[in-house]
Amino acid sequence: MRSLLIAVLILLSALTLASSQNQPQKAAAAASIEKAYSPQLLRDLAALRDAALADDYGYQQVAHLTENIGPRSAGSPQAEAAVNYVAAELRKLGLEVRLEEVKVPHWERGLETAQLVEYPGQASGSTQKIVLTALGGNTPTSVEGLTAEVVVVNSFEALKALGRQKVTGKIVLFNVAFDKQKASAGFWGEAYGEAVAYRGGGAKAAADLGAVASLVRSVGGADYRIPHTGWNQAAGIPAGAVTSEDAELIAHLAAQGRVRMHLVLTSQNGPEVTSYNVVGDLKGSEHPEQVVVVSGHLDSWDLGTGAIDDAAGVAVAMETAQLVQQLHLHPKRTIRVIAWMDEENGGRGHDAYGKAHEAEFANHVAAIESDLGAGHPLGFWAKINPDALPLLQPVQDILRTQGANLINLVSESPGSDIAPLAKAGVPAFGVLQDARTYFNYHHTAADTLDKIVPRELRENAAAMAVMGYALADMTEPLPR
């Protein structure tokens, strides 16, 4: 007992010593926060949160972009209409708006049909329909299509092991499933990353071994015979995505014997056309040259109406400016709303912005992007100097009431369109939404307005507005 008592006393002494040693650090951190956030700023942040949670401005913007304008493929008439609409709405809010030119590819979907014309157990005179969609930027078939044997692989390594002799003249199907268990457990990014590699690079890998076409199992979690489109690396052969159910069907039949498919994908790649990033500035009152970006991307795929990907992101960025104006707030720094163009098919919008504004990156004090739907926000991914993290504690405190107070540090850009800024060292934030069901609808015909829960969209607006305004009105910018 005496030995135990001595051990407890030693432990208590050590804890007391550690606590006393930490006191100066805690005091210094508290002083830094007090210096960065005036009492008025803290009141303004709370007011922004509360106003956002009671406001449907963002939902109204999503509704117009999706229901009135519709799908917004880069270079399409709908994309042009969306650019003009967002620019006009930002001007109504009193922002200084300009359209910054972006040269984008224009791709138009054509006929999309497939059927199995030879397979084990086939009834005489019959075929089996395959549900699929073309991937963006692929090389089309003729209107008559092509017919070839299908080989099924589960990895790039398996394709390579087949070798050119067994791949030349064939249609390659990459039957790689989206891991729904990972997604449902919160690891949606990991699940998507594992599967999307085959959508992005599968056609090129197949073409390099002489394949005449490439198909990929749809990258998503909804097994309702819904195909998922998306970008793929140019490969010089037709490329498409089949539904999960059809991928399983083809794999099952191919394991029994020879399978031949007739495939028609007549999508066309047109010449580059001029489009625009919409850039609107709510000028700062003290340091207008310093900029905080709030953003989402305006273009979408054409199967659905682009509600969760990414009219929602554009809308909450617009609402950030709307709320600031509604509450008659005057941030020290400029809040810049950007509706990016061409995120889906190459990222030429952020490339153009990077070239046009690279000399000003030193004055970009932060950038925020929302591009993971409109689910409940849990907080932010952040590519920032870890020393800056304590300065964000008041933001976390204010967003804690709605459960949006996480800040997860990441080593890469938390958003594709703010990647040039993040690479240059600008503190970069991505809204961290609950995306457990996001990839059920992502890049499908089911990406429509009904998938957005208005309350959750308001929570997203609150998260972006509070973080954006804090970064724009703190005494000093976050350290890089």
Task: Report the alpha-carbon distance of residue 442 to residue 310 in Å, rounded.
Answer: 10
- Element spanning 89, H or E: helix 77-92
On whether the CB atoms of residues 105 and 349 are closer than 8 A, the answer is no
- Provide the 10 A C-beta neighbour count for residue 162: 14
Strand order in the sheet with 333-340: 96-108, 268-282, 333-340, 287-297, 364-369, 428-433, 377-383, 406-409
Position 83, amino acid = V
C-beta of residue 75 within 8 angstroms of C-beta of residue 348: no
Distance CA 281, CA 95 (A): 5
Closest residue by Cα to residue 227 from 123, 304, 310: 304
Of the candidates 468, 474, 455, which has an alpha carbon nearest to the alpha carbon of residue 403? 455
The tokens of 480 are what?
């890089």
* C-alpha to C-alpha distance for 170 and 209, rounded to whole angstroms: 10
Degrees, nearest 5: CA angle 236-238-241: 135
Q: Whole-angstrom Cα distance, residue 177 to residue 74? A: 29
The answer to whether the Cα torsion of 324, 429, 377, 177 is positive or negative is: positive
Are 454 and 403 spatial neighbours (Cβ–Cβ below 8 Å)? no
Q: CA 230 → CA 119, 200, 201, 240, 362, distances in Å?
A: 29, 8, 12, 9, 34
Q: Rg of the chain over CA atoms, in angstroms?
A: 26
Instruction: Give the catalytic positions in this structure.
Output: 343
| Structure tokens given for 49 | 């949160």
Q: How far is CA 479 from CA 165, 379, 389, 391, in A?
A: 57, 20, 10, 10
Tell which residue, 278, 336, 304, has the closest CA to residue 469. Answer: 336
Residue with tokens 């997860």: 408
Please, what is the Cα angle at 70 between 65 and 71, to 5 degrees?
Answer: 110
